[in-house]
């Protein structure tokens, strides 16, 4: 197979923590060489012109591995299908979608998982790695068929925001998961305290008359999960850490050598509780947006590596479920297509360097799931994105490729555009 050369690129290497000028040689769906500027110039004579991509000084980075995408098949295709989610992912530089099992019905048996995998392979231009439910029906009463689901291709197990309240059921499931080497993903919230909450408790929620939840609910949920990790020895990932109060518990767990990692969402890194001041329901997410001090603490934790991953937590909702009073409206926002330009705000503000950003977006989620993507190195899959971090964009939600348009960034002025997305060396999106 003839090689493809990407030249004149700024190479973002999250593993080496470097930004260098050079190029990448691709063959048979994989990176065959990462080249310096002079090596890329030498390779030009060996590659046909039609197989050459001139990056023109744009950034070349590993494709994003988005851990926690909701695709509403089966059950709610009117909100999002695999076809539209795949198109949105390709346009957003997401080369691997790790899908959540909170569908209708839940992905809690091998038959449903096989349907998901077959459907995704038919219509999706990017890689899809499904998660499965930890308990049957995500009801927290009986663990799912973890072994069979693992054999069928599940990469992790989670009940999402349906927190398992029965600690005996959770401990049994995590013990069994440990025996199989399976990853359990938890949603750190105390379900009693967080029930019915629409905002983070405090002066702002009180002034707006919104039911609030204390940031301690996240800390309490994480403390409980870590205690069960200590008891069972399971591999555990917290899906969203969004408050400063939870960070000391996470730090202690890692210092004690537990197999614990954590993520956060793009929304909790770029928005705060004041953004819901006019009751715009597109800003209603779960957990609710936090105080500015929490947002800054989460950014610091990403920079230091205490929080490992960033995800879009892509949650499509139709107009009807959002056109309600704030307290009654559905939670969630789409993010597949908007994640990188939104997070580049943190690069332009000097809060995060590009290698640090892609460590959390690509390298760490791939490593946690045992995938060989997310790297810019020889023999890694050629799942790559070319982007211009300075290209301006005014976001128009009606131009998004997702079926649902519930983004809080409608009309936002952003900097950063995806120019090209490649999966296994093939272009699946081009601006």
Tens-digit pLDDT profile for the chain (431 aa)?
578 999 999 999 999 999 999 999 999 999 999 999 999 888 888 888 889 999 999 999 999 999 999 999 888 999 999 999 999 999 999 999 999 999 999 999 999 999 999 999 999 999 999 999 999 999 999 999 999 999 999 999 999 999 999 999 999 999 999 999 999 999 999 999 999 888 999 888 888 889 999 999 999 999 999 999 999 999 999 999 999 999 999 999 999 999 999 999 999 999 999 998 888 999 999 999 999 999 999 999 999 999 999 999 999 999 999 999 999 999 999 999 999 999 999 999 999 999 999 999 999 999 999 999 999 999 999 999 999 999 999 999 999 999 999 999 999 999 999 999 999 999 999 99
Tokens encoding 380: 């890694």
**CA 202 to centroid of chain Cα atoms:** 28
CB 109 within 8 A of CB 144: yes
Phi, psi of 114 (to 5 degrees): -65, -40
**DSSP-assigned letter for residue 74:** T
Q: Which residue has the tokens 């030249």?
A: 7
Position 204 scores a pLDDT of 85
C-alpha 431/C-alpha 419 separation (Å) is 5
Please state, in angstroms and as integers, the Cα–Cα distance from residue 33 to each residue in 22, 229, 309, 384, following that order.
11, 40, 27, 14
Q: What tokens appear for 180 in the block?
A: 């199989």
| C-alpha–C-alpha distance, residues 420 and 431, integer Å | 6
CB 91 within 8 A of CB 427: no
pLDDT computed for residue 75 by the predictor: 86
Q: What is the pTM of this model?
A: 0.95
């Amino acid at each position: 197979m003839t090689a493809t050369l990407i030249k004149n690129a700024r190479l973002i290497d999250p593993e080496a923590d470097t930004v260098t000028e050079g190029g990448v040689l691709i063959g048979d769906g994989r990176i065959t060489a990462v080249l310096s500027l002079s090596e890329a110039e030498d390779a030009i004579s060996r590659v046909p012109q039609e197989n050459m991509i001139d990056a023109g000084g744009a950034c070349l980075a590993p494709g994003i591995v988005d851990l926690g995408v909701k695709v509403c098949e089966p059950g709610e295709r009117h909100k999002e299908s695999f076809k539209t989610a795949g198109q949105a992912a390709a346009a957003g530089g997401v080369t691997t979608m790790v899908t959540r099992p909170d569908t209708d019905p839940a992905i809690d048996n091998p038959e449903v998982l096989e349907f998901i995998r077959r459907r995704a392979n038919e219509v999706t231009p990017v890689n899809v790695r499904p998660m499965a439910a930890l308990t049957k029906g995500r009801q927290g009463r009986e663990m799912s068929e973890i072994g069979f689901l693992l054999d069928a291709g599940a990469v992790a197990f989670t009940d999402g925001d349906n927190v398992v309240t029965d600690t005996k059921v959770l401990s049994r499931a995590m013990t069994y998961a440990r025996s199989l080497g399976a990853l359990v993903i938890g949603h750190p919230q105390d379900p009693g305290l967080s029930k019915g909450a629409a905002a983070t408790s405090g002066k702002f929620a009180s002034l707006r008359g919104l039911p609030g939840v204390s940031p301690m609910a996240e800390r309490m949920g994480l403390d409980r999960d870590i205690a069960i990790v200590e008891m069972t020895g399971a591999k555990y990932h917290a899906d969203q850490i969004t408050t400063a109060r939870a960070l000391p518990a996470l730090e202690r767990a890692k210092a004690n050598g537990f197999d614990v990692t954590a993520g956060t969402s793009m929304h909790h890194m770029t928005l705060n509780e004041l953004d819901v001041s006019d009751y715009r329901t597109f800003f209603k997410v779960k957990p609710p947006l936090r105080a500015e001090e929490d947002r800054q603490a989460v950014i610091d934790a990403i920079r230091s590596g205490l929080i490992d991953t960033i995800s879009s937590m892509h949650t499509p909702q139709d107009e009807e479920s959002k056109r309600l009073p704030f307290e009654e409206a559905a939670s969630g926002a789409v993010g597949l297509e908007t994640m990188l330009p939104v997070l580049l705000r943190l690069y332009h503000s000097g809060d995060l360097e590009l290698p640090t950003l892609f460590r959390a977006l690509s390298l760490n989620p791939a490593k946690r799931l045992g995938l060989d993507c997310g790297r810019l190195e020889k023999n890694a899959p050629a799942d790559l994105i070319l982007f211009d971090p300075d290209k301006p964009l005014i976001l128009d939600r009606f131009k998004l490729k997702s079926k649902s348009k519930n983004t809080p960034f409608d009309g936002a002025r952003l900097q950063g555009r995806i120019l090209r997305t490649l999966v296994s060396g093939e272009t699946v999106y081009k601006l």
